[in-house]
Amino acid sequence: MSRTPAELVKELVDAGVHFGHRVSRWNPKMEPYIHGKRNNIHIIDVKETVKGLLRAKKFLAKIVADGKDVLFVGTKRQARHAVEEETKRCGMHFVGERWLGGTLTNFATIRRRLNRLDELEGLFTTGEIETYSKKMKSTLGREMKKIKANLEGIRKMEKMPGAMFIIDTRREHIAVKEAKKLGVPVVALIDTDGNPELIDLPVPGNDDAMKAVEIIMQELADSIIEAKGTRPAAKDDGQAGGPRRRSTRSSFKADEGAPAPVGGEAPATAAPAAEPAVAG
């Protein structure tokens, strides 16, 4: 549902997007985005929040229209549900359980864990799992659930995202560092205790307000859905547009900070089911 600017401001204020942290916890670099303080709590300037949100919508829409994808990161309890729902609605990727170190910089290893997940699901789908002992079935079941919880949201991510949207940069500082190392632009919902200099496009706001996070995610998802309709036709190299298909090539990995996909290699063979690995 499209909101007018006035409706957007009213809904964000009602959701408490303007409440920051206690004055003692603030980061001085957030001063340009702070309106004042009340009862020892910093009050975020809602004009800056709306301005940042509109810029974020425009920027992410351009990324998607160019054929690239957006990776959303929000693992805190207040953001997890909204991130998962809205990301699925707009067809992007997400991390909602836990950011595993190396998710971007060592994606080859992450891809092997996803291959392992495919293998385990195959055992349960075909019924082959019944040929294993009860103890092994339980072990493999736990392994499958753990991998799925951590990596399900990036299962279809075959190339470097064009941008990342992060909720709470202090909590997701590892994700921010990996994105900066690989040159991936970072858009973030940032509270008064964050450092706006670490990200490319800040959206100042209360990252603990569940309703405010939902509204912001809905706005971003709507702009992405609209932008996907303007994507260029699929090219021969399969880099943009068209329906996504599983690649047979090994996915991107960091090469001393260079965000370039590495292709032409066959994916690593998954470990045999009888030798379960510990989920990363």
How does pLDDT run across 212-227, given as a tens digit for each residue? 999 999 999 999 999 9
Residue in 239, 206, 226, 104 with CA at minimum distance from that of residue 163: 104
pLDDT bracket for residue 262 (50, 70, 90):
very low
Mean pLDDT (whole number) for 158-168: 94
The span from the CA of 118 to the CA of 58, in Å, is: 36
**Vertex 1: Cα angle to 206 and 19 (nearest 5):** 10
CA distances from 67 to 240, 243, 244 (A): 4, 11, 11
* Mean predicted lDDT score pLDDT of the chain: 85
The span from the CA of 120 to the CA of 124, in Å, is: 7
Pairing of strands 41-44, 19-22: antiparallel
- At 84 the three-state DSSP class reads helix
Mean pLDDT (whole number) for 112-129: 92
Q: What is the pLDDT of residue 269?
A: 41
The span from the CA of 135 to the CA of 7, in Å, is: 56
Task: Give the pTM.
Answer: 0.79
Residue in 3, 58, 61 with CA at minimum distance from that of residue 224: 61
Q: What is the pLDDT of residue 233?
A: 65
pLDDT bracket for residue 232 (50, 70, 90):
confident
The span from the CA of 226 to the CA of 62, in Å, is: 11
Number of H helices, E strands in the chain: 7, 8
Q: Which helix (H) or strand (E) holds 189?
A: strand 186-190
State which amino acid sits at residue 219.
E
What tokens were used for 198? Answer: 């670490």
